[in-house]
Copies of this chain bind each other. A is one copy, B any other.
Amino acid sequence: MEENYTLLRKHIEEIIALTDEEWIFVSQFFKYKKLKKHQFLVQKDEAVPAEFWIISGLTKAYAIDSNGKEHILQFALEEYWTTDFNAFQNQIPATIFIDCIEDSEFFSLRLEDLNMLCAEVPKMSNFFRIKSHYGYIALQQRILSLLTETAEERYNNLIKKLPKLIQRVPKKMLAAYLGVTRETLSRLKA
């Protein structure tokens, strides 16, 4: 357990420096959580009290359209943050699902604790501001990719960006993330 907290501290200190005293204060808000493959972190229509930092494992965030088809919004692996951010921030029921593709371990952080943390340790507010900014940038690039790139370009960029992911995720899910059919993906992988 101790080493999980060490990982989290290292992750935070990539952006801001914390004294040992600050870290002791900060770390108490992060609660450890473990889920098996196929278990849910977030379920549609339910409350989303926390956001999650992934210690180990892999999750997918997805929506199901009116035809029952799954569309993947995000794959999150080690050191990623995930939740239904809209539901979390606005304390409304979830509109997406997040489940585990592998057995996974997390730290969860509740909204009231996040707010208290940012008020008490302003550096943490800076940390989350910059993280959120990077998340925004990544999503902007995903939108551009969806608007401008061919299926082949999207697949090649994903390999470049997340080479590990390709080996850990079934083809069907990669297709649902890239917004292409499984047949197109098989052709690209060949």
Docked complex Cα distance between A143 and B71 (Å): 10
Q: Which of A99-107, A118-126, A182-190 contacts B (4 or more CB under 8 A)?
A: A118-126
Chain copies in complex: 2
Cβ contacts A73-90/B at 8 Å (1 or 0 each): 100000000000110010
Report how far A73 CA is from B146 CA in the complex, Å: 11
How many residues of A are counted as interface, with CB atoms below 8 angstroms from the partner's CB atoms?
A: 35
Q: Check if A37 is an interface residue, CB within 8 A of chain B.
A: no
Q: In the assembled complex, which residues on chain B have CB atoms less than 8 Å from the CB atom of A73?
A: 140, 143-144, 147
A163 an interface residue at 8 Å Cβ cutoff? no
Asked if B137 and A89 sit within 8 Å, CB to CB, the answer is: yes
On chain B, the residues within 8 Å of A142 by CB distance are: 143
Partner of A136 from B85, B125, B141, B146 at Cβ < 8 Å? B85
Which chain B residues lie closer than 8 Å to A31 at the CB level?
none
Chain A 105-147 per-residue mask, 1 if CB under 8 angstroms from chain B, else 0: 0000000000000110010011011101111110111111011
Q: Verify B144–A143 contact, CB threshold 8 A.
A: no
**Please, which residues of chain B bring their CB within 8 A of the CB of A134?**
89
Shortest Cβ distance from A44 into chain B, in angstroms?
A: 12
